[in-house]
Amino acid sequence: MTSAGLKTIEGRIVEVRNGVRKISRSFTYGYMSLRVLVGFEYYSVLVSTSKLNKYGFIPKVGQWIRAEGRLSNSQDDFYDASLSHITSLEHIEPPKN
């Protein structure tokens, strides 16, 4: 599903990593990198830790999520496609098989 440069994915979180990037001497940007399995493909979803309260849950391995953001395709087979500038992130129930 794509509109205005945004893509929505639904999948299961298989890895969560925390990170910090220093923007300036006085400002540090915290983020979480979620590796999400969607079908047979992996996506990296980059989430600002300052927005976790807005989303209403803390992402954990095994949870199913729906995320919408700007897609950057992988340049080669070593990296996953990534979703950044997240506009929505929600916890969903796993699909019934």
What percentage of the chain exceeds 90 in pLDDT? Answer: 48
Per DSSP, the residues of the chain read -EETTEEEEEEEEEEEEEEEEE-SSS-EEEEEEEEEEETTEEEEEEEEGGGHHHHTS---TT-EEEEEEEEE--SSTTS-EEEEEEEEEEEEPPPP-
pLDDT tens digits, 22-60: 666 666 678 889 999 999 999 999 998 888 888 888 899
**Cα radius of gyration (the chain):** 14
Note the pLDDT of residue 38.
95
pLDDT tens digits, 56-66: 888 999 999 99
Mean pLDDT of 75-95: 87
Q: Which domains does the chain have, with CATH numbers?
A: 2-92 (2.40.50.1040)
Q: How far apart are CA 69 and CA 51, in angstroms?
A: 14
Q: How far apart are CA 68 and CA 87, in angstroms?
A: 6
